[in-house]
């Protein structure tokens, strides 16, 4: 998880600085980080389900072509710390807000195609 966060932190910095060439790398690193967060769950079914749902979520966000920048990076650092501390309840709360705010941000950007 630490290695996944390290890679994500660097690709996030590129996107935050305005380097759109980093967007695809950032999304890949984001997915790898979120998978690393739940990798110790011990359930292959949960891992497959997460991968499928996360892939669809990412496709939606990529259509919006937006980023929350520093807010997203802070969420990821907080999630990592809660996971390291094994504070499941706090991690779940941050993750729920992270996903909800990400969706709200994409919708508010009004860059999604019709239909």
Q: What is the pLDDT of residues 13-61, one digit of tens each?
A: 998 898 888 888 988 899 899 999 888 888 999 889 988 888 887 776 6
Q: Which of 13, 56, 14, 6 is nearest to 32 (CA)?
A: 6
- Read off the tokens for 39: 């990798």
> Which string of DSSP letters, residue by residue, matches 37-80?
HHGGG--HHHHHHHHHHHHHHHHHHHHHT---THHHHHHHHHHH
List, for residues 55-108, the tens digit of each pLDDT value. Answer: 887 776 666 556 778 898 999 999 999 999 999 999 999 999 998 988 888 778
pLDDT at position 99? 86
Contacts of 23 (CB under 8 A, 6+ apart): 15, 62, 67
In terms of C-beta distances under 8 Å and separation of at least 24 residues, what long-range contacts does 87-94 make, across chains too? 91/37
Please state, in angstroms and rounded to a whole number, the distance separating the CA atoms of residues 23 and 29: 10
- If residue 22 lies in a helix (H) or strand (E), which one and from where to where? none
pLDDT at position 20? 82
Q: Report yes or no on whether pTM surpasses 0.85.
A: no
- Read off the tokens for 72: 């997203």
């Amino acid at each position: 998880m630490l290695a996944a966060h390290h890679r994500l932190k660097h690709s996030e910095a590129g996107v935050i600085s305005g380097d759109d060439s980093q967007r695809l790398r950032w999304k890949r690193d984001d997915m790898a980080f979120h998978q690393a967060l739940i990798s110790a769950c011990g359930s292959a079914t949960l891992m497959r389900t997460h991968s499928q749902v996360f892939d669809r979520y990412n496709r939606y966000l990529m259509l919006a072509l937006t980023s929350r920048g520093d807010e997203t990076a802070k969420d990821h650092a907080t999630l990592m710390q809660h996971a390291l501390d094994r504070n499941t309840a706090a991690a779940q709360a941050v993750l729920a807000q992270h996903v909800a705010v990400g969706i709200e941000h994409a919708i508010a950007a009004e860059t999604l195609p019709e239909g």
